[in-house]
Amino acid sequence: MPMFYNIPHVMGFPEFTGYPWMHRGQERLDAEGFRRSMWEDQRIFHRIVFASCQTGRAPLCAPDYFFLSSEGSKVELCYLFRARNQILDIKWNSIETKKPEENVDWRPFCAYIRGHLPTAEFLFEPPEVWDKTWFARTISETAEKVPVRAEIVDLVKAAGYEITGKQGWFGTQSWSLADGEVIRRVAFAHWIGWRETSEQDLERLGSHLVEL
């Protein structure tokens, strides 16, 4: 995939607006820092494009926080927390703490954005055991290889299929080609359901969305 900066005007496309692109930040970086920021932005760019190629659909919204890295999600969550005064539905306090998690506003803030900011649930750590949404989005949008996880067997079984993990070289596990196809088929069926529900939720939220 080409580097994003080699594609004329690509950052003006609606699919890429709103993301916390590091190369557009106000912070002055040295050469090494700038290089790291460009590679991190390329990684996000790659995930967005790859997901659309896999599903045949544009991202649900922009930004779609599912595409951020774990570290990028933490940074964005802290940025949104600092801008919480723009959310007028809640009376916020002005106490400053070393960590956002220590602030009395943290829990109501997290609860609010989970219910009002599209894809905000992906700013938080994924559950140890994938639910249908994490299963559907990871397998359908970002996984080039299906990971071996016990809950995948259960999710596929619930859809009416039987699969088993295979023992490979040096004790590692892998799926058979047939099982891999079944997993992707089940994941995409869940993805279609997630997408339809999310589009409806996005339309319902509409004018209630807050620009943070």
Phi-psi region of 185 (alpha: psi -120 to 50; beta: other; left: phi over 0): alpha
Beta strands in the chain (DSSP E): 166-167, 173-174
Q: Which range is least confidently modeled, 20-34, 97-111, 186-200?
A: 20-34
User: What are the tens digits of pLDDT across the range 140-178?
Assistant: 999 999 998 989 999 999 999 988 765 555 456 788 899
- Residue 107 structure tokens: 């829990």
pLDDT exceeds cutoff 90 at 64: yes
Whether 128 contacts 149, CB under 8 Å:
no
Residue with tokens 């991202």: 59
Whether 157 contacts 150, CB under 8 Å:
no
Query: What residue spans define the domains of the chain?
Result: 4-125, 132-207
pTM (2 d.p.): 0.88
At 139, the pLDDT band (50, 70, 90 cuts) reads very high
In whole angstroms, give the CA distance from residue 64 to residue 58: 11
What's 212's DSSP letter? -
Q: Which range is least confidently modeled, 57-71, 84-98, 101-115?
A: 84-98
In whole angstroms, give the CA distance from residue 135 to residue 152: 8
Residues 33, 51, 42, CA angle at the centre, nearest 5°? 15
Residue 177, C-beta contacts closer than 8 angstroms, at least 6 positions apart: none
What's 146's DSSP letter? -
**DSSP β-bridge partners for residue 173:** 167
b/e burial code for range 121-149 (CB count within 10 A of at least 16 → b): bbbeeeeeebebbbbbbbbbbebeebeeb
